Amino acid sequence: MIAVDWGSTSLRVFRLDASGHVREQRRSARGIHAADGRFADVLRAEIDGWDDPLIVMAGMVGSRQGWVEVPYVDCPAGLAGIASALQRLPADAFAGREVWIVPGLRSRDDSGACDVMRGEETQLCGLLGELAPQRQTVCLPGTHSKRVTLADGRIERFATAMTGELFELLCSHSVLGRLMRPGEHDADAFAQGVAHAARAGDLLQHLFAVRTLGLFDALRPEQLRPFLSGLLIGHELNDLPADAGRVHLVGAASLLAAYTAALALRGHAAQAHSELASAHGCHALARQAGLLA
């Protein structure tokens, strides 16, 4: 089968064998915005030469702006619940091949406020197959980081932090970014940022420390970017309970290193998982739905 992770700004495709191992993978920048409605054409080009009859897709391709909108499934949700909500494209949508889209998930906090994900649920489905069924804490770092609680073999709840997007915005467009100079990763400045995030005060105030610490030479211009990275990741982790136990991470290697370091500074062990968790999750969902022979 073919697993597809089709987000706003990127497209990744994976070819899996019958036992669920990833044999080939490709990626491109042709996210759903760049696809501009020509989803079948873009997908055909991307999986050129792969003739597998079953395709399972996740991500913004199932959103209102995507190929078809697939309604969110409410948490708690396990493999069975998500698999039963897979939505099949019409048979003629992609040259007669069987194409399914994975639903996104919706989580409500204690006040009833909603949070959503599209795409990350396949990473979580992959993890569900790897981890023991007791309560687990998962972080999926990224543009919109997800903190997830797994329990009883299901995705119990999650919350989104705009850590990655804010970091990019501040580096690229703010007065803080203009003070920065590129440099090697600086673990000490990063750690200072993580520590600063635990102080009293709001993020709105803490951000200004990037300026003042630079102004009084407590940080060199090339240390401001790692400091800001630590500050934002530290804020994301501020409400992580002390008894969260080992935190499971799925994401790009550079992010995993940063989050592992930040978690260690806060006294938490971390376990990094392969980004292939997403493809494994698609495979697990297909098997659960009876789509694999």
Which residues, 6+ apart, have CB-to-CB distance to 253 below 8 Å?
none
Interacting residue ranges for a copy of itself, rule: CB under 8 A: 8, 111, 113-116, 144-145, 159-163, 165-166, 169-170, 172-175, 199-205, 207-209, 211-212, 215-216, 232, 235-236, 238-239
Query: Taking the complex as a whole, how short is the minimal distance between the CB of residue 273 and a copy of itself, in angstroms?
Result: 23
- Residue with the two structure tokens 């919706």: 106
In the bound state with a copy of itself, the residue whose beta carbon lies nearer, of 45 and 175, is 175
Residue 227: enclosing H or E segment and its boundaries? helix 224-237
Query: Taking the complex as a whole, how short is the minimal distance between the CB of residue 216 and a copy of itself, in angstroms?
Result: 6
Q: In whole angstroms, give the CA distance from residue 274 to residue 127.
A: 10
Task: List the 136-140 sheet strands across, edge first.
Answer: 77-78, 154-161, 145-151, 136-140, 247-250, 270-273
Write the Ramachandran bin of 49: left for phi over 0, alpha for psi from -120 to 50, otherwise beta. left
Contact call for residues 101 and 86 (beta carbons, < 8 A): yes
Residue 183 is encoded by which pair of tokens? 């440099």
Other CB atoms within a 10 A radius of the CB of residue 15 amount to: 18
Cα distances from 160 to residues 15, 143, 192, 285, in angstroms, run 29, 10, 24, 23
Beta partners for residue 145, in sequence order: 161
Query: Taking the complex as a whole, how short is the minimal distance between the CB of residue 195 and a copy of itself, in angstroms?
Result: 10
In the bound state with a copy of itself, the residue whose beta carbon lies nearer, of 126 and 214, is 214
Q: In whole angstroms, give the CA distance from residue 110 to residue 159.
A: 12
In the bound state with a copy of itself, the residue whose beta carbon lies nearer, of 133 and 221, is 221
Query: Taking the complex as a whole, how short is the minimal distance between the CB of residue 144 and a copy of itself, in angstroms?
Result: 7
In the bound state with a copy of itself, the residue whose beta carbon lies nearer, of 114 and 292, is 114
In the bound state with a copy of itself, the residue whose beta carbon lies nearer, of 207 and 270, is 207
Query: Taking the complex as a whole, how short is the minimal distance between the CB of residue 236 and a copy of itself, in angstroms?
Result: 6
Query: Taking the complex as a whole, how short is the minimal distance between the CB of residue 230 and a copy of itself, in angstroms?
Result: 14
In the bound state with a copy of itself, the residue whose beta carbon lies nearer, of 52 and 222, is 222
Q: In whole angstroms, give the CA distance from residue 152 to residue 30.
A: 37
In the bound state with a copy of itself, the residue whose beta carbon lies nearer, of 12 and 147, is 147
- DSSP 8-state class, residue 275: T
Query: Taking the complex as a whole, how short is the minimal distance between the CB of residue 116 and a copy of itself, in angstroms?
Result: 6
